[in-house]
Structure formats: C-alpha cells, structure tokens
Amino acid sequence: MAQYFDQFEKIAYEGPESTNPLAFRHYDAKKVILGKTMEEHLRFGACYWHNFCWDGFDIFGAGTFDRPWQKPGNALEMAKMKADVAFDFFSKVGTPFYSFHDVDVAPQGNSIKEYAENMKVMMDVLAQKQDETGMKLLWGTANAFSNARYMSGAGSNPNPEVFAYAASQIFTAMNATKMLGGENYVLWGGREGYETLLNTDLRQEREQLGRLFQMVVEHKHKIGFTGTILIEPKPAEPTKHQYDYDTATVYGFLKQFGLEDEVKVNIEVNHATLAGHSFHHEIATAISLGLFGSIDANRGDAQLGWDTDQFPNSVEEWTPVMYDILRSGGFTTGGLMFDTKLRRQSIDPADFFHGHIGGMDTCALALEKAASLLESQDISSVVAERYAGWSGDLGKAIMTGDYSLESLATQAIADNIDPKHVSGRQEELENIVNKHIFSK
C-alpha cells in the first residue's frame, strides 16, 4: 500500500522563485523567525480522516476516489495498509504531526469489545509507524457522532446507555492518545445539539455534557496525561444548533461546570465563519479569555453555507491571525492541523501534495509577514496610544475599585470633564497591514 506515493520524493523548500509545483516556496522548516524555526512556530499536522477515510462521497453522488486501501477486505488488515499509506504521505509532505479519530485508524467492529480489541492492535501499529518515521501525534479524539446510535447526540443523548457507549470510546481514545505521546485530546460534539426544541430538555442535556467533560478531565489526571484537553466549537451542522456554538459560548459552558482552568479550544476556521464570526475574531477571543489551544486550519466558501473544509490560501486572512498568535507567545501544545479535504474532482495522488503544499506555504508566508508587523510595532504603538488613559491616574483608580459609581459620577461633575472623540485610525491600520503583506 505504501507504493501509492512511491513516485513522490519528500517535499523540499526551493524558494519563492521556484516553478516546481511539488516544492515549498515559502515554508522553510529550519528558517529562524523571532528565535524559533518555522517548524517550531507552525507545528503543522495532517489529518487521517479526510485524507484517508473519505472516498469522495457527498449526498448527491457516490465516491469519486479510487483508493486501494478502501477496497473490500479484512477490516483490520485494510486498516494496517491504510496506516502504511498515511505515514508515507505524512513523512513526504513534511508535517511533523498528524491527528486521528479512533475509528479513522481502527475498525469499529461488531461490538464494543471488538472495537476495544481493534484499537489495541492498531495502537501498536501506529506506535511502530511513529518510531519508524519520527512523526508525532498532535491530538487524538473519539468519533462519537457518525454511528447511527449517536443520531440524538452522545453526551447529550436522552438514553444514558448511549452516553455510556460514548464514554467507553472516549476512555479508549484518551488512553491511546497518551500511549502514543499525543500532545492534546480533542472533544468535538458533532451531534451535541438539537434539531427541535419540541423534544429537547436544554437544561438536562447541558448537565449531561458538563458531567461528561468533568469525567474527561478527571480521567486525564488519573492516567497522568500531561497534554491539553481541547473543545472544538461549531455553531450548527449537522444539528440545527450545537451547544459549543463558538469560543465565547464554550467559555460560559466551562465556567458553569468549573472547567475553565482545565480546557482550552481548538478553533476551526470554517466553524468560525459558520458562526457568523471571522477567524481572526475567534482567535482573538480565545486569547483574551486564556482559552487559546490549537487550530484546525482550513477555509470555507463564502457562497456555500456549510463546512467545506478547503485548504487555506489567503495570506491576507492569516497574517493578522498569526500576528495575534505571535504576540500572545505562540503555540504551546497546539499547532496547525489541516482539517482539509480534497475536492471530489481532485482524484490524483499528486493532489494530496498540492493541497498541503499550498496550505503550508500560505501559513508560512503569513508567519513571516506577521513577524515583520510585530517587530515594527506599527500596530502595537497605535493600540497602546489609544488605551493610554487607562494607565493614568483615573483609569487605574477605576479599575482598582477606588471609585464607586456614585463617587465617579461626583468626580466627573466636579472636574467638569469634557472628553473629545478621537479617530480609531482603522483605514491607516489596514494600510499598515497591507504594507507588510505586500512588501518583499
């Protein structure tokens, strides 16, 4: 099976002038920027699911891909062959990390016991593949949304036996993630929401989800998993409304169940835009709340109202995001996971590489532009000037509680204050960003 990509060499950096479509023009893994290499800053990962599990099927048509590892056969043997292909690709495209759902890598089997046995076998396979290739696991997760048993949710399901089944998958996937040295564990509630309020008890379902996440955190500490627990927000699709709508909603949920110091967010670009936000907004919100963890790097289509999971290709979109990430200290356990899938018409093996090369070059160039912007202080100096009053006597006294509402009002009247409005300089700041993006 590894022969699927035999015609390709490891993708190399050739520089901006290269005309080779199978080379990086901007991602130079060992180039040092602000004291760290690009590889260390970006922490790229490739996903198992879209790349090696999806066959090109959509609701209007059958699969378009002809992938040898998706042919009929012994499920466990096919999973092993899929691992051969996956790790060959990961190694050649040059992402230092990968990620998976449990059923991406191991057959579900015909019972919960068979599932656990298959996972045990495949974890040994993945461990060997990691040793052979040097690949590392950015995060693992459990698919508690695809099987029909989860049609009404997993943790939020009206049936506690479904909750228990999901808990067994999460237990197994968390243990597997720890065993493989994973740096994070992700919780994505693909069905944790509702289709109609007519049959939904919102309080009951939130309480169930809260208890499930508490159990996850308890188990993390029990097994000594030192990675980060991440929640991946999404507003809708496949449900009408999901309980992890966006980063701000997740923060409220975590506060309710006492988990705000235990869990961070894995932000997907396409989920942010489906929630009516910009990607930049979700990153800035997560950073401001101390929730920033990791990113699922992709993009949507402005003319399509669903999650299209396309490869990122906008340096303009990514530069302000990378600026905020750099300014906040960068990734710790997180990284840039390409939660991306080829178009149904992109059926050649080379298309795997073209998609990832383009996405990696986009993020790398945005990193360089963001570093230039950060070093120049062109933005930060304007922001500091705008809020300078809060470092003065009045601003400090307000924030430290020296004033009550009454005493502040009395002081304002006594001083006959008459504040003048000043420009926010938005257009100037946008021009500054473009100056850095489009400079050589």
Kindly tell me if the per-residue pLDDT of 174 is higher than 80: yes
Query: Mean pLDDT throughout 15-36?
Result: 98
How many angstroms separate the CA atoms of 168 and 189, rounded?
Answer: 15
Secondary structure (H, E, C), the chain: CHHHHCCCCCCCECCCCCCCCCCECCCCCCCEECCEEHHHHHCEEEECHHHHCCCCCECCECCCCCCHHHCCCCHHHHHHHHHHHHHHHHHHHCCCEEEEEHHHHCCCCCCHHHHHHHHHHHHHHHHHHHHHHCCEEEEEECCCCCCHHHCCCCCCCCCHHHHHHHHHHHHHHHHHHHHCCCCEEEECCCCCEECCHHHCCHHHHHHHHHHHHHHHHHHHHHHCCCCEEEECCCCCCCCCEECCCCHHHHHHHHHHCCCCCCEEEEEEHHHHHHCCCCHHHHHHHHHHCCCEEEEECCECCCCCCCCCCECCCCHHHHHHHHHHHHHCCCCCCCCEEECCCCCCCCCCHHHHHHHHHHHHHHHHHHHHHHHHHHHHCHHHHHHHHHCHHHHCHHHHHHHCCCCCHHHHHHHHHHCCCCCCCCCCCHHHHHHHHHHHHCCC
Q: Report percent pLDDT > 70 for the chain.
A: 100
- Tokens matching residue 127: 């461990």
pLDDT of residue 228: 98
What confidence category does residue 216 fall into, taking pLDDT thresholds of 50, 70 and 90? very high
Can you tell me the mean pLDDT for 279-284? 98
Q: Determine the average pLDDT of the residues in 62-79.
A: 95
Please compute the mean of the pLDDT values over residues 83-98 and round it to a whole number.
98
Smallest CA-to-CA distance from 44 within 24, 14, 65 is with: 24
Give the burial class of 388: count Cβ atoms within 10 A of its Cβ; 0-12 exposed, 13-18 middle, 19 or more buried. exposed
So what's the pLDDT on residue 251? 98
Residue bearing tokens 């670009």? 269
The alpha carbon of 435 is separated from its chain's Cα centroid by a whole number of angstroms, namely 29
**Considering the chain, what percentage of its residues have pLDDT values greater than 90?**
98
Per-residue pLDDT, averaged over 254-263, amounts to 98
**Is the pLDDT score of 283 beyond 60?**
yes
Please compute the mean of the pLDDT values over residues 352-371 and round it to a whole number.
98
Return d(Cα 152, Cα 295) in angstroms, integer. 27
Tell me which residue of 376, 407, 238, 400 sits closest to 307, measured CA to CA: 238
Mean of pLDDT over the chain: 97
Averaged over 126-151, what is the pLDDT?
Answer: 98
- In this prediction the pTM is 0.96
Catalytic residues: 101, 104
- Of the pLDDT bands very low, low, confident and very high (cuts 50, 70, 90), residue 38 is very high
- Reply yes or no on whether the pLDDT at 198 is more than 70: yes
2 — pLDDT class (breaks 50, 70, 90): low
**146 in Cβ contact with 49 (< 8 Å):** no
Q: In the predicted model, what is the mean pLDDT of residues 333-347?
A: 98
- Say yes or no to pLDDT of 26 above 70: yes
Per-residue pLDDT averaged across 22-31, rounded?
A: 98
Q: Is the pLDDT of residue 1 over 80?
A: no
pLDDT-based confidence at residue 118 (cuts at 50, 70, 90): very high
